[in-house]
Amino acid sequence: MKVLITGANGQLGGALQRTAPAHADLNAIDVDDVDFTEDAMLRARLVVESPDVLINAAAYTAVDKAESDEQTARAINADAVAIMAEEMEAQGGKLVHVSTDFVFDGTSSRAYRPDDPRNPISAYGRTKAAGEDHLRDTDLLVRTAWVYEAGGANFVRTMIRLMNERDELGVVSDQIGSPTWATGLANTIWSLIDKSASGTFHHSDDGAISWFDFAVAIAEEGHELGLIAKVPNIKPITTADYPTPAKRPAFSLLDCSATRELLGDQPVPWRTNLRRMLEQEQALG
């Protein structure tokens, strides 16, 4: 099985490479290899690579910046996906595309199911939803949320840095979801591919928490592992206390039951995977 991964240098791209099965003939590319905003360049590279499976882990993820640069976000999150879908159609290959909880508006009273209506409230969410619309019925869409990985640029590592610099910090407590360890997400994607899955699936770690809850756990686990010298005072604040250019969904928990049922595995509690990631972070020094 010839597999091409886009977004090679990102958190998920790296995790996909590390967890790839032995039967995958793997290649991975990033912006250093091809400009995803240049349609002709991207199309030519896909023709050269000619993969059986294309895993698109590339994305414009600067949520706030997208509010003033939606054109670039759309080029990467939607227009490039259209090119990928067209080329996989022409080559007889499968597109596996990774999307986000930001395609939902956060007003649900229960976890979002894969077939729930989308209603993005930010430029980033709009462009990701537009990207989803280019997929064929035979392609695979995997939505996820709050992704983090050892060594990456993410909330966990930002919190560790801030907690070592400050005696006090405020963290938003009225946005609810669930974190996702990129390694676990990568394993799920490979398993879905092995099952020849198509359609829409959700993956995140198990449990519903706020960013404040996540920060408290990072402080506790990080301090125990020696990553944080002294636990600071962590205060819950509201979204209104921390205004950002882009609106975030207040509730973006993903219902992953269909994914777990198909794969026959058990959901992993978010704190278990946080501990695993922090142990890797500790090993990185």
Enumerate the active-site residues.
124
Q: Phi/psi of residue 31, each to 5°? A: -65, -20
3-state DSSP of the chain: CEEEEECCCCHHHHHHHHCCCCCCEEEEECCCCCCCCCHHHHHHHHHHHCCCEEEECCCCCCCCHHHCCHHHHHHHHHHHHHHHHHHHHHHCCEEEEEEEHHHCCCCCCCCECCCCCCCCCCHHHHHHHHHHCCCCCCCEEEEECCEECCCCCCHHHHHHHHHHHCCEEEEECCCEECCEEHHHHHHHHHHHHHCCCCEEEECCCECCEEHHHHHHHHHHHHHHCCCCCCCCEEEEECHHHCCCCCCCCCECCECCHHHHHHHCCCCCEHHHHHHHHHHHHHHHC
User: Pairing relation of β-strands 176-177 and 209-210?
Assistant: antiparallel
Look-up of token digits 């395609």? 103
d(CA 11, CA 274): 15
